[in-house]
A and B are shown apart, each in its own frame.
Chain A
Amino acid sequence: MDGLNIPLNHILLVSSLLFSIGMLGLMIRRNIIFILMSLEVMLNAAALAFVAAGAHWGQPDGQVVFMLILTVAAAEVAVGLGLVLQVQKRFKTLDMDRANRMQG
């Protein structure tokens, strides 16, 4: 609308970059905390895309979904951190590569 008029594609590009960074982080990080952080990045990439799309279409829906995503991310991370505590307690490590009791 008024002010900055950034094309949708550019924002989508940024958000996809963010998404990729998050994915990459997931794949290369071994520490569970960093993994959770990468997840946040990915979710936020989606959120960004929503906001941008909402702006593009001139609808509030994008921002509504953004709020929802924040909630979801919070819920995921809340449960996630709870589990992290338990992981530290029971596995004595936060390295997810060592948490591989089950395979085959």
Chain B
Amino acid sequence: MVMVNLIVILLIGGLLAILSERISDTMPRKVAMAVVLADLLYLLICLSGMPEITQLQAPVANDPSTWLMHFKADWIPAFGISIELALDGISLLMVLLTLVLGAIAISASWTDIVVRKGFFEANLLWSLAGVLGVFMALDLMLFFLFWEVMLIPMYFMIAIWGHENRGYAAMKFFIFTQASGLLMLISILALVAVNHSGTGIWTFSYFDLLNTEMAERTAHWIMLGFFIAFVVKLPGFPFHTWLPDAHTQAPTAGSVILAGILLKTGAYGLIRFAVPLFPEAALNFSYPAMLLGAAGVVYGAVLAFGQTDFKRLIAYSSVSHMGFVLLGIYAWNELALQGAVMQMVAHGFSTAALFMIAGSLQERLHTRDMREMSGLWQQMPRMGAVAMFFVVASLGLPGLGNFVAEFLVLLGLFQINVWITVVAATGLITGAAYSLLLMQRSFQGEVNKKWANYGLIDFGSREMLTMAVMMIALIVLGIYPQPVLDAAQPVLQSLLELTASPTVDVVEVAQ
């Protein structure tokens, strides 16, 4: 019930946010913040009451009773569809990330949104609710429902409060994700149908579908449906082109949620569904998948380097970073998977922060074009310093979360395929190139006279507080990532055992 409550609180919170606009103009954001923090607090209280949380027990992937939480209620029994939610270490990490970044996104929207604030905060909360659902739903239909529905508030956030080209961006975002979602729907139904024809039972439950027997070819095609849907969301090369537009045009809070959380649903889906449901098909497909990952790493980095739009650059950097996640997942060993999970968390913070900085700049300068910036450190040293921190985080400075992630991915990947590792590792170089270019063009360089008398205001205490949360998070992840790793470890372990199959050849490391 806890999990249902988590979602319901956010849904109701959204309505409250709309209503609260009638009380005062500034009320919605306060309500939204209160709701998210209350949700977070509620989760933490519930967790602290559970004995398992101190020692996350190893969940058996296909036995829900071993999971941290499990909830099941009938929904459409005619098709064996139920409201089944469950929580294990990875879900928990993602849920926590969602709520924390949700609060951060609300903080980002504090002064950014000037019209229809109530509706904005409502959309924000609803999209968070959808994401929570995605991370907790273990009934495939329910998962699909959340997967699709979370996009609608996101669509509105881009379409209503976005920037100059919002219509195009929102449309592109929606069509990409929906079209791929349809493929996933077909895959889900096909999987269920295969299971139905084998067992005679209609069920959409993850736990029941885990060991569905099917022909290799069938598995391959069904798996591809899932794969494409998740990779579009990730986004992986070459399905990424919606992302730069959506990120660039979204309002700051939207970008934070998009980059910080929404992309992670794709990675989560791969780990939770695409591979475990079709272990052989997925792992036979690992080579192309890893190639796509490596291509994403390189391509994203090169394109990021060519951008002049602050947010677009960060968007492409996300493409590059999420390429590591794809690599990590399809290397499918504990090191790489831990790296992927770590990257999901760390990238969430580092990119969210960069988008907030971009948003703050846009709010102050009314442009995102880096050619018009330059030398902003002079007037906004605090913002500059913060930006520097997150830039070096994003280029993978050891001691910060992203490094741990990328290194683990590479380490795991190296055991699977040396040459892809080498290609991916060039991402460290190109990553540094665009990251530093970003810094150079915006905060460093000759002071642009244009802004001299513009009365630019440096980060205030609210912004610094928000940033501090993320900075501390990244530092902690960077030098003591063990809690995150421990949370994910048992889950990954059981997934690995589940998918361990003699037919899957592990490519020997080249001598």
Tell whether any CB of A sits under 8 Å from a CB of B in the complex.
no
